[in-house]
Structure 1
Amino acid sequence: MPFKKLIEPLKDIIKSKGFDAPLPLQKQILSKIKGGASLFIIAPKDSGKTSSLVISVIQKLKHAFEDAPRALIFVKDKQAALDLELEFNAFKRGTNLRVYCAYDEKSIDDQKDEIYFGTDIVIATPKRLNKIFFLNGINLNKLQMCIVEDAEFLFRNNNFGEVTRTPESISKCQYLVFSDKFDARFERWQDSFMYHAEIVKG
């Protein structure tokens, strides 16, 4: 998908960053994501996975809407959450989209209250997201996109099991998994909630 098809604020930000045309990976996946496909996106570091994620979420959500999040992004730890939040803040200027980070080092009661006041995009570590959810601290009924960034972390500390629990609690949703390599354990997701997912290699 060429950048000219993006929403105006996003087009302006990308232009200001000096990007004239999509990277090869972005050419492969942006239109697929816009069309609602669930994907395993397998590509090396520095191929544009993170920027593709951010652009796709902003393009799909466009503006703030009600209080419940519409995009949930799983990351490995607090620093990854904060780094991704910075990326979103850089690209979402000109929109009113709200981004919130949920991680273990912060009071869970504060996080429940802050999420309740409204957010569009939640970036979370798996264990903290599940704790908040089972304390009725987040409404996933409006979720449109469920994403895993740098998915290699899933196979440590039971994160794979923690993330697998989320689709059990939501209805129809688009799933995107960004990873350096395709792990055989992903086949479990292909057999359940990601059974129509395409594998895209960049």
Structure 2
Amino acid sequence: MQTTQITFEDFKLNRQLLNAIEEAGYSKPTPIQEQAIPLIQAGHDVLGIAQTGTGKTAAYSLPLLMKIKYAQGVHARALILAPTRELVMQITSAIKQFSQYTDIRTVALFGGVGTKAQIEGIESGVDIIVATPGRFMDLYLKEIVVVKHLTTLVLDEADKMMDMGFMPQIRRMLEIVPRKRQNLLFSATFADKVERLSFEFLEFPTRIEVTPQATAAEMVEQVLYELPNFGTKINLLTYLLQSSDEFKRVLIFTRSREIAGFVYKYLLRKVVPEEEIRVIHANKGQNTRTNAMEAFKEGSVRVLVATDVASRGIDITEVSHVFNFDVPLIYEDYVHRIGRTGRANNIGKAITFMTMADAYHIRKIEKIIRTEIPQKPLPADLEILTTPKPEQQEMLREIDAQKRKEDPTFLGAFHEKKKIYPTRIKPEKKGQKEGRRGSGTGSGKGSSRSKRR
């Protein structure tokens, strides 16, 4: 029995949206779009669990644009919240693309830049606001943003918003927006914290889970390398990136901006020409980050080094490789990082570097993604450096902390050594004192004379 393939025409979207969808190159809905669009059109609250790169932005923005239909009044009727500036810009870009043949007005609000242009955008009339929670609340408290006309509220990447500490702003926002509204919550994972938020935020929601939660993207080949230290990680990264034919568009994730800066400078000095590499992190200005992203998207930049600030704000279909130079400590971020490759039916590769202190985190990640990451032997001609003593000790302390986390009674290697040392000395001292007392004059006087001497 042959099943009929659903098209965007079947959603009864207006012609302006269908023309924009066709122009954007979308031929058929993705699974999340197929399930979410009819439910949102019917007015249901929706909880969507879907990986990045599955088309969830279109899944909520297309029915939202259909609901709004055309520009009306001055104040926003829909609010979309996202955790990072990059993701806000990506969502705004997608909505503007889909609404290009309508007069619907969309304004993006995010920090890191001045408020003047954003305030002007709101005051000239807006239908949809896409914002980070912090900047939105700033402008609300200054009475720039009016919320009483909102009929739809969307939380995108809810898990990341909670990881970044936005929960107080979100709770405050839920108090100020109209009670009668449609709520849509999208997340790549359905951790306990997201479930608790869904109870606060959604009313009788329909849950959509297009893939098992927090599983890694099917189009991504995952590889794990075990390395002894930081220096050898740098050597392996340099070794692999020498093949520019294979590593065409590479995204490298690090744990901190300091490491990102070091990796960028080292690769610039050793293997990648200046015009082909950029670095982005929280200390970089918004214009610098935007320009770097655009250059990477266009293909003029081959290598982009980034902290997790970029893990959810990049929508580029041709990222060939993602490197986890550092294993993420927020385990769900692994899913988001590798979700930057293997998009739009392209095969991608995710390469993770693991030290002995990272093995604990890898086991936790494998539990979340429900699969073992295949380990690959190191290249035979790779230069493997000796681990410096301070780095070795730091890793051992980290392993002790991990064991203590799993077993609070575990004392740790460093702790045990300190404890053993004084117990060896004390009996000896005690014995010496007893010996003095037993030889010669009275114990009290002998003892005090010894002290005076």
TM-score (norm 2): 0.42
- The 3-state SS of whatever aligns with 1:29 is helix
CA RMSD of aligned residues (A): 1.8
Alignment correspondent of 2:169: 162
Distance 2:68 2:164 in 1: 32
Tell me the residue number matched to 2:132.
125
Match of 2:86 in 1: 79
In structure 1, the residue matched to 2:62 is 55
Deviations 1:109-128 (A, max 9, x none): 55334312210111111011
- Counterpart amino acid of residue 184 in structure 2: L
Identify the residue that residue 12 of structure 1 maps to in structure 2.
19
Which residue in 1 is equivalent to 2:95? 88
- C-alpha deviation, 1:21, in angstroms: 2.7
Mapped to 1, the partners of 2:98 and 2:109 lie a distance apart of 20
Q: Given the superposition, is the C-alpha separation of residues 187 and 152 from structure 1 closer, same or farther in structure 2, using an over 3 Å criterion?
A: closer
Checking the alignment, whether the CA contact within 8 Å between 1:115 and 1:138 is kept in structure 2 is yes
1:137 equivalenced with 2:144 (yes/no): yes
What secondary structure does 2:97 align onto? helix
Once the two structures are superposed, what CA deviation does each residue of 1:115-170 show, in whole Å capped at 9, x if it has no partner? Answer: 12210111111011111112211111111111112223212332122122212112
Q: Deviations over 1:57-114 (max 9, x none)?
A: 2111111110110111111222221122211121111100111011112333553343
State the AA in 1 paired with 2:187: S
Partner of 2:196: 188
Structure 1 unaligned spans of 5+: none
Query: Could you say which residue in structure 2 is the equivalent of 1:37?
Result: 44
Q: Is the 8 A contact 1:41 1:179 kept in 2?
A: yes
Matched, 1:3 2:8: yes
- In structure 2, relative to structure 1, the CA distance for the partners of 1:127 and 1:182 (3 Å cut) is same
**SS at the partner of 1:76?**
coil
Corresponding letter in the other structure for 2:65: I
Please give the per-residue CA displacement for 1:4-43, whole angstroms capped at 9, x wherever unaligned: 2101100112223343332222111101001111111001
Cα distance in structure 1, aligned partners of 2:172 and 2:143: 15
3-state DSSP class of the match of 1:95? coil
The aligned counterpart of 1:102 is 109
Q: Structure 1 stretch 166-175 or stretch 65-74: which is displaced more?
A: 166-175
* Correspondence list, 1:111-122, <5 A: 111-122=118-129
Between 1:7-16 and 1:66-75, the stretch displaced more is: 7-16
Cα distance between partner residues in 1 of 2:158 and 2:194:
10
Please tell me the residue identity of whatever aligns with 1:198: T
Residue 184 of structure 1, CA deviation: 1.5
- Amino acid of the structure 1 residue aligned with 2:164: N
Using a 3 Å threshold, how does the CA distance of structure 1 residues 157 and 27 change in structure 2: closer, same or farther?
Answer: closer
- Tell me the secondary structure at the aligned position of residue 46 of structure 1: coil
Mapped contact 1:40–1:177 kept (Cα < 8 A): yes
**2:182 pairs with 1:177:** no
Quick check: 2:185–2:198 contact (8 Å CA) kept in 1?
Answer: no
8 Å CA contact retained: 2:70, 2:104: yes
| Residue aligning to 1:198 | 206
- Point out which structure has higher relative CO (alpha carbons under 8 A, 6+ apart): 1
Larger Rg: 2
Amino acid at match of 1:197: P
Number of the residue aligned with 2:436: none
Q: Do 1:189 and 1:195's aligned partners in 2 also have CA atoms closer than 8 Å? A: no
Cα distance in structure 2, aligned partners of 1:2 and 1:142: 32
Percent identical pairs in the alignment equals 24
Give the Cα–Cα distance (whole angstroms) in 2 for the partners of residues 16 and 108 of structure 1.
33
Matched AA of 1:57: L
Q: Aligned partners of 1:73, 1:81: CA distance in 2, in Å?
A: 9
**Structure 2: 5+ residue runs without aligned partners?**
1-5, 211-453
2:159 to 147, 152, 155: 152
Q: Is the 8 A contact 1:190 1:196 kept in 2?
A: no
| Count of matched residue pairs | 202
CA distance in 2, matches of 1:2, 1:32: 16
Conserved 8 A contact 2:158-2:194: no
Q: Match of 1:73, SS?
A: strand
